[in-house]
Every structure is written in C-alpha cells, then in structure tokens.
Structure 1
Amino acid sequence: MLSNEKNTTPLNNENFAVAARVAPEDLRCGLVVAVLNQVYEFPSFFWCLDSQTNSPSDPVRIRWRSRDRGRPWTVEAICLPFVLLRDFNGRVRREDTRSTEFVRLDEKFVQAVHRVSKKKKSRKKGKAR
C-alpha cells in the first residue's frame, strides 16, 4: 500500500461538481457564471507567409483561457450580445457573448469562494490598522 493511498477519498458526485457551459440565450439575471474562454480576432495579414491558407479579409481567431480562474460573476443585465457582470467585491465588467464562453458555477463552489474572499478582506483590514 502506498503512503498516500490511505488519505484519498473515492470520487463521487458529492466531492466535486462540473461547471456547465451556458449558451448566450440561456443567460439570466442573477445567474452566477465564470468566464471560461475568450476568443480574440486578428487580421490575417499579421501572419506572415500565410497568404496561401488565409484570405486577407478573413480574421484569425485565437481562443484564450480566461485569466479569472473561475472567479464567480453575477449576471446583472443582458442586452444580447452584451452582458453586464458584477463580482462579490462590486467590480463590474461588460462582456460580448460572441467572443466569450461562460460556464454556470455550482452553488457550493460559489459559496466557498465568497467565504474565502470575505476572510481575505478581513485579514487585509486587520493588517491595515
């Protein structure tokens, strides 16, 4: 028996949840989401020596993973394709659903993130005094 085997727990539905992708038309005010991917478009003439595969009028699309790392955002307002988001700290962000992929977050995960960010805030306030 390996030393770390005794500390593992079997995976089941109670131990983890999977974030589910949300289509733009399924977004609703009050829904808590995270930004999974963002697609950026660049003119194809930025790619040298690639004129054989891409027409100069076609954009090159590059998908980037979000740098938010699962930060919960609450949907405040929707006017497709635009969405207004707010986080627990009150920061506001606008996204375009044509270039942003959203996932719905599990309620337990959202509560855990909120709890941890509250603790972080209180520690920062304590250090400032």
Structure 2
Amino acid sequence: MNTTPLNNENFAVAVRVAPEDLRRGLVVAILNQVYEFPSFFWCLDSQTNSPNEPVRIRWRSRERGRPWTVEAVCLPFVLLKDADGRVRREDIRSTEFVRLDDEFVQAANRVSKKTKSKKKNKTR
C-alpha cells in the first residue's frame, strides 16, 4: 500500500483563543455557543435536574468558520465585524472563539466577494 505523507503547508489549524487573549484586530471564528434553559423547560424531569440549575446545551456555530474581526473588547463582551460590514456582539461566557489563519481569512473574503458579485449580477 502506497501512502503519501501529508504536507503541513497545505492546511492550518484554528486555535482556540482564551478570553484574555482577545484583542482589537484579531480575526476569529465562533466555534461553539452554550445556551442555557431553565430546567423546568426540560421535559419536566425533576429527578435529574435541580429546579435551580439551568440546562446547558453546547451548539456548533451556524457561521461555519466565518471570519470576524474583533473591533472592541470590554470583558465579558466582544464586538465583532465581518467583511460584509455586519456587526455582532458576543458574550465570552457562552461563546468559544478560534483564531483563524491569515490565508484562510483571505480566501474566505475572496469567495465571499465573488458570490456577492454573482448575486448582484443575477438581480440586474
């Protein structure tokens, strides 16, 4: 069986960012978000959940690696802006961020601009 070793130059790994490492200008993506629900909403199961303890559910982000630039940090809040100019506020207590590779960010912005120009041409 012939195998080809992976070339480490072909890919990068998104690295988790600690809240204290967030700074203005850093390009991040949202990896996970934690949502809390009152335990009485949870199937009325009082045996496994205390009425005072919320049920926490971790969700994968719907953003799928969308690059966001950190515009401002006032812990526990972070103000983010994407390449399209959309602004988003996140709470670091319920959001997990990863730092994105520069090449990935450039490629994502290029693809985003191409799809936007195609949509504009279709509407004309």
- With structure 2 as the length reference, what TM-score do the two structures score? 0.92
Q: Which residue of 2 aligns with 1:70?
A: 65
Please identify the structure whose Cα radius of gyration is greater. 1
User: When the two structures are aligned, how many residues end up with a matched partner?
Assistant: 124
Within 1, Cα distance between the matches of 2:123 and 2:48? 57
Q: Spell out structure 1 runs of 4+ moving beyond 3 A.
A: none
Q: Which residue of 2 aligns with 1:56?
A: 51
Q: Which residue of 2 aligns with 1:40?
A: 35
**What SS does the corresponding residue of 1:52 show, helix, strand or coil?**
coil
Within 2, Cα distance between the matches of 1:103 and 1:63? 16
Question: What letter is aligned with 2:104?
Answer: F
Alignment map for 1:1-129 (pairs within 5 Å)? 10-129=5-124
| Paired-residue identity, % | 84
Q: CA deviation at 1:49?
A: 4.8
Q: CA deviation at 1:117?
A: 1.0
- With structure 1 as the length reference, what TM-score do the two structures score? 0.88
Within 2, Cα distance between the matches of 1:111 and 1:10? 26
Query: RMSD between aligned alpha carbons?
Result: 1.8
CA shift digits 1:25-55 (9 cap, x unpaired) = 1001000000000000011111235322221
Within 1, Cα distance between the matches of 2:107 and 2:81? 17
Gaps of 5+ in 1: none
